[in-house]
Amino acid sequence: MESSHLPSLGLDGQVALVTGASRGIGEGLCEALAAAGATVAVTARRLDDAEAVAARIEAAGGAASAHSLDVTDIESIGSAVAEVVASYGRLDVLVANAGLGANLPALEVTEEHWDLMMDVNLKGLFFTAQACAPHMIEQGAGRVIAMSSQASLVGIPDHVAYSSSKGGVNQMVRVLALEWGPLGVTVNGVAPTFIYTPGTAERLDEPTFLASVVERIPVGHVGQIKDVAGAVIYLASEAGAMVNGSILTVDGGWTAQ
């Protein structure tokens, strides 16, 4: 039975650009977006890293291309976005995933550390969104999905620069949602808890650290990349069309406390 109330999570015909896609969550999101039907522009600082991910997606039957994009270099953002639009004639989804994290007590934070967190996590994300939005606005439709963190919503010791940058991401999402929503472009954030990736494995494989994290997650375990992918695909799809200016937590309830 066909129902007009059945939401679609498919992304056939959509072109999605993902930043910071060389590994971890970004790489997994590229694979998931491709499996959902999108053509994925895999971007990474090093072109060969993006090419390796795009090749794996194509080998699995998906559609992907590789582009070099450093979010701290506004020229490189512009060239990558121009390349994608020239190749496909459209750009439907931006997943602004590139980000850096580091543990550092506040008293040890240097200007260099602070600037790096802000340059990548906040300024880089903004200028990537600013480069993509005009193409979406011209189409009258688009989705900007910003990678935030539970650390944007609650305090976590030793994360002052990271948390400040991700808190800024949430405010950026809200402002852009107001400016671009009326033009057909929704803007939302995804805020995961600890996600098991090659980058977090070393710490999460340490039983005492894992126990200290899990005791704060009501569902009783850390997240996986597919948990983040579920949120991203929902926000990118027709099913998520009415969601704008939200920060979707994928944290098993950590921030509900």
Ligand X SMILES: NC(=O)c1ccc[n+]([C@@H]2O[C@H](COP(=O)([O-])OP(=O)(O)OC[C@H]3O[C@@H](n4cnc5c(N)ncnc54)[C@H](O)[C@@H]3O)[C@@H](O)[C@H]2O)c1
Taking the complex as a whole, the smallest distance from the CB of residue 128 to ligand X amounts, in Å, to 9
Residue closer to ligand X, measured from CB, 141 or 213: 213
Contacts of 207 (CB under 8 A, 6+ apart): none
Half-sphere exposure (Cβ direction) of 179: Cα atoms closer than 13 Å: 11
Taking the complex as a whole, the smallest distance from the CB of residue 65 to ligand X amounts, in Å, to 16
Residue closer to ligand X, measured from CB, 140 or 157: 157
Q: Which of 88, 162, 196, 234 is flagged as catalytic? A: 162
Measured distance CA(71)–CA(45) in Å, rounded: 8
Residue 100 CB: number of other CB atoms within 10 A? 15
Question: Is 234 one of the catalytic residues?
Answer: no
Residue 187 β-bridge partners: 144
Can residue 216 be called a binding residue for ligand X (CB under 6 A)?
no
Can residue 103 be called a binding residue for ligand X (CB under 6 A)?
no
For the chain, the C-alpha Rg in angstroms (whole number) is: 18
Measured distance CA(13)–CA(188) in Å, rounded: 21
CA 227 to chain centre: 13
Can residue 192 be called a binding residue for ligand X (CB under 6 A)?
yes
Can residue 99 be called a binding residue for ligand X (CB under 6 A)?
yes
Residue closer to ligand X, measured from CB, 71 or 133: 71
Selected binder of ligand X within 14, 15, 16, 19 (CB under 6 A): 19
Can residue 123 be called a binding residue for ligand X (CB under 6 A)?
no
Residue closer to ligand X, measured from CB, 101 or 230: 101
| DSSP label of 248 | E
Can residue 115 be called a binding residue for ligand X (CB under 6 A)?
no
Contacts of 34 (CB under 8 A, 6+ apart): 40, 57, 60, 62, 63, 64
Contacts of 246 (CB under 8 A, 6+ apart): 173, 188, 189
* Contact window for ligand X (CB under 6 A) among 65-73, 130-138, 181-189, 233-241: 65-73
Interface ranges with ligand X (CB under 6 A): 19-20, 22-26, 44-45, 70-72, 97-101, 120, 124, 147, 149, 192, 194-195, 197, 199-200
The residues that are catalytic are 162
